[in-house]
Structures are given as structure tokens and as C-alpha cells.
Amino acid sequence: MSETIDTDEDKEIATVTSADGTEIVYERSGSGLPSVLVHGSVVDREIWELSDVRSTFAEHTTVHAMDRRYHGDSRSPDEYSGKPEPQFDDVVAVVESIDDPVTLIGHSYGALVALGAAPRIDNLRSVILYEPPIVSDEAVARIAETSEEMMALLEAGQNEQALTLFLDDVAQFAPDELDAIRSAPIWDRYVETFHQTLLPELEAGADKRERDLTPFEDLSTPTLLPVGSESGWLKESAEELHDTLPNSRLATFDGHGHAAHLVAPDRFTDEVLSFISDVD
């Protein structure tokens, strides 16, 4: 059950309580078949406001844009757990507060969380997973090396350079995608908070997940896997997931990387909305 805590002209802010008692905040807007948006690392639900992605979805679906724990307005447990399962439960709590079958839309780490939550949810209509970071041994080594460089930059007081390094080297943002987020009004806030959102995940080893996709071999929910042609190891992860899932298809954004929704929002929203409308 959800609780509405605030409203404005076209949005409602509501909360649900996750399995461990953590309060998760989401923003509801629009009308139509329900969708749940799960953002990636570093950012929060406001990332969907860039390029009007949320408002475009809200013209066709009832959008529930959640803040993952440790992000935005959602609560943060006192002790960080490196295990992703509590975040799976957060997504389950949001989806199960909705009466009708839901489309689950996740980006990056949010896509990984959405993927982990999906087998636990009974009322899924479809799933869209934009490059969940299913990490290979090679990628783990690369992330570890980049993390050392990031920590050195942080110790030198160069927080913005540290965040830029992560988005460029690990998250595989294309140059125009990186320019788009760095020029956004919310950039400075992400620079200030990313040590609280991203670094605990890295330090706890949350990105050193075993590359075991067998739990998803029976996930028959219709699934769209958007990928950027320039996304490197993240593109490879999505392709491996596609080979595992029994009812999925790839949608490649040529010339884009890990954040096509920031620079080609019409291409992204058209692909997602077309997929949603095609699902029986």
C-alpha cells in the first residue's frame, strides 16, 4: 500500500515501505497503463526530467518515477549493504502498490535492480532494461582501476573530475551524452552527492556480481533491451542477457552510448512506447 504525501498540478509524491522498513519515495504523473521508472547510479528520479522523458511517458502511461534507496528523497539505511537484494525489494514494493499490470523501465544500475526484481513480481506486463551492468572479469578489473583514480581525484578535492571519469570510462557515456548531463541544472548536486550514492556501491563490491544469468532463463515477460552502439562492455552485457531471456529483443541506438535518452529522447521514448503498445 502506498501513501500520498504531497501533490502539485500534475504530480503526486507518494511513499511505500520496503521489506526491511526503508521508506521509498516515488513521483506519480500522467494517465494510462502504469509504468515504473528506475534510475541508475549517481542520479535520482530527476534524471527523467532531462529532455522531457518523464513528461513524454506521462502522455501515454501513468508514470511512477522512484528514487532508489540512498538517492533523492528515499531513505538511506544507516549501514550500506553491498548486496543488491534490498533494492530488488524496493522495486517490488513500488510495483505491488499498483493495481494494474506494470511496465518496468530501468536504466544502468537501475536496470540491474529491475532485472533482479522482475522474477519476484506477479503483475508485470513488460520490462525495458537499458544496459544493466552485468560485469565480466575484464570489466571488474577496469572498474577497480578507475575507482583508484577516482579516489585520488577526490582526495585532491577534484570531485567533478572524479564523477566525469566514472561516467566516461565506466558508464560509457558518449561525449554528447556527457556534455548533456554536465550542462544540466542538476549536475552540481550530483557532483556533491555521488560519493554517497556511487562510492558505497563500489567499495562494497556491489559491481563485482557473478555473471550468472541462469535465474532469468525462465523470465518470460516481454522484455526490450535498448543498447547504444558505442556502449562497449555494457552493450556486450545486454547482448548476453538477450541470449538468456526467452522473450526479449534488442533495440540498438546507432551512434549513441549509455545515455541516449539524454540526447535522443524522441528515439528513446518512441522505441519504448512502441514496445509497450505492441505487448498484448
Per-residue pLDDT tens over the stretch 114-148: 999 999 999 999 999 999 998 777 777 778 888 88
| Dihedral angle sign, alpha carbons of residues 241, 263, 66, 68 | positive
Q: Which band of pLDDT confidence, cut at 50, 70 and 90, is reported for residue 81?
A: low
* pLDDT of 8: 56
- Is 229 a residue whose pLDDT tops 60? yes
Query: Which residues does 199 contact at the CB level (< 8 Å), separation at least 6?
Result: 150
Looking at the DSSP assignment, which residues form a beta bridge with residue 3? 15
Query: Cβ–Cβ contacts within 10 Å for residue 79, how many?
Result: 6
* pLDDT of 84: 82
Domain range 3-135+211-278, CATH architecture: 3-Layer(aba) Sandwich (3.40)
40-54: average pLDDT: 95
- Is 257 a residue whose pLDDT tops 80? yes
182-202: average pLDDT: 87
* pLDDT of 207: 47
- Is 4 a residue whose pLDDT tops 70? no
Which among 18, 149, 34 has a CA at the least distance from the CA of 87?
Answer: 18
Strands 11-17 and 23-30: antiparallel
107-117: average pLDDT: 95
Between 77 and 14, whose confidence is greater?
14
* pLDDT of 135: 72
Q: Grid coordinates representing 51?
A: 529532455
* pLDDT of 249: 97
- Choice among 194-198, 220-224, 226-230 with the minimum mean pLDDT: 194-198
| Size of the chain, expressed as the number of residues it contains | 280
Backbone angles phi, psi at 192, to 5 degrees: -70, -30
- Is 80 a residue whose pLDDT tops 70? no
* pLDDT of 140: 76
Instruction: Say what percent of the chain tops pLDDT 90.
Output: 75
- Is 103 a residue whose pLDDT tops 70? yes
